Homo-oligomer: A and B are copies of this chain.
Amino acid sequence: MNYRSIIILLATLVTSGICLAQTDQPVIIEDFKPSTLNQPGQQYPQVNSQGYARFRIVAPQAQSVSVSLGLGGRGGTTLTRAADSSWMGTTTGPLDKGFHYYHLTIDGGTFNDPGTLNFYGSIRWESGIEIPAQDQDFYALKDVPHGKVQQILFPSKSTNTSRRAFVYTPPDYDKNQVKHYPVLYLQHGWGEDETAWSDQGHANLIMDNLIAEGKIKPFLIVMTYGMTNDVRIGGLRNFDIKPFQTVLVDELIPYIDANFRTLSDQPHRAMAGLSMGGMETKTITMTNLDKFSHIGLLSGGTFSMDDVNKTPGFKEKIKLAFVSFGSRELGSNRGGRGFFGGDPRANADTLKQAGINSVFYVSPETAHEFLSWRRALRELATLLFKD
């Protein structure tokens, strides 16, 4: 299967991502609270302690209102007219923990829920809802020293424009004006952009919390847009990694090293990405072993011995080959085995036996969604730049 086909399959996976958990809980507990992603003062959507979501939309003269929760053609929630002529409905089962994109279909048109914040996914700004996870503490906003997320506009001659990136700098970056830091380049998935890892992923809070607990050595994270062509589906089918590779390797990395206090040698530069961003990461790092030492593929491919053998210097130069998936991606008819280049766990074991620092992580009870990637970033961060 070629690269473009894989990208398209990944795109399909994002669009159709499973987020309904098991549906064998008939009694819905009436302890619904506003989702933490609601706009200020908005009471709906709400989430209960079981993970059910309840929606309320005001559109008195509408003929039909339904909620699409990334279930493709297989699900969703049809709202019904309530006594006050609003539209209400509750999911038929609990949702997986974590973040989900969704949108409304009102009289045949696609709109966002005015109750919630929007997040860029599926090449549009979508509504978002958050189901509290047991382990939400690791990505929560806590009373610890906070790093910054800096928006930069860097010059790109190859695309003839100023391009945007976000740079996470750790809490001590501005305190210690002589210290230099390693850098992780972190890519979003198909249909998302450079806002995703902060907004949906809470990457900055994950880092703040890990640093506060002394679990990692501080490093910078750089997040930029991973495509240079037209973002619409037609553009995706013609996706070519080369223009983005030029932007990242020849333009962004030199800009970051010139404008931030980085450790700019290969041992202190990592790249990781989720879904399509994982595929990009694999392609770019394998052809730039002199620039990257640590690699992370998050629900976006695996490393096989075939990859290693085809890439002279891999064993010597790559200090970490990290691969992760959500557990629901690893079922018999989904994810890993089918089209990510072989069984990812078996691949990881084989690399480890060959003396490579290969780590395989599975996020419990999550699918091709952001809780898988928040957890994967947490795991990855503790493994980076350990020398």
| Residues of A that sit less than 8 Å from B by CB | 39-41, 57-64, 104, 106-112, 114, 117-118, 123-125, 141-143, 146, 148-155, 161-162, 167, 174-175, 177, 198, 204, 208, 230-232, 259-260
| B contact residues around A167 at 8 Å (CB) | 148
Q: Smallest Cβ distance from A63 to chain B, in angstroms?
A: 5
Q: Smallest Cβ distance from A162 to chain B, in angstroms?
A: 6
| B contact residues around A61 at 8 Å (CB) | 63-64, 107-108
A231/B41 contact (C-beta < 8 A), A114-B124, A146-B162 known: yes
Closest to A225 in B: B40
**Is the pair B155, A143 in contact by a Cβ cutoff of 8 Å?**
yes
| B contact residues around A232 at 8 Å (CB) | 40-41
* Choice from B111, B117, B151, B155 contacting A150 with Cβ under 8 Å: B151
| B contact residues around A110 at 8 Å (CB) | 58, 114
**Is the pair B174, A177 in contact by a Cβ cutoff of 8 Å?**
no
Q: Smallest Cβ distance from A138 to chain B, in angstroms?
A: 16
Can you list 15 pairs linking A and B with CB atoms under 8 Å apart?
A41-B232, A58-B110, A59-B109, A59-B111, A61-B63, A62-B62, A62-B106, A104-B111, A106-B111, A111-B112, A118-B125, A141-B153, A142-B162, A150-B150, A177-B177
* Choice from B125, B141, B161 contacting A39 with Cβ under 8 Å: B125
Closest to A64 in B: B61
Q: Complex formed: what's the CA distance from A111 to B162 in Å?
A: 32
Q: Smallest Cβ distance from A222 to chain B, in angstroms?
A: 13
Closest to A109 in B: B59
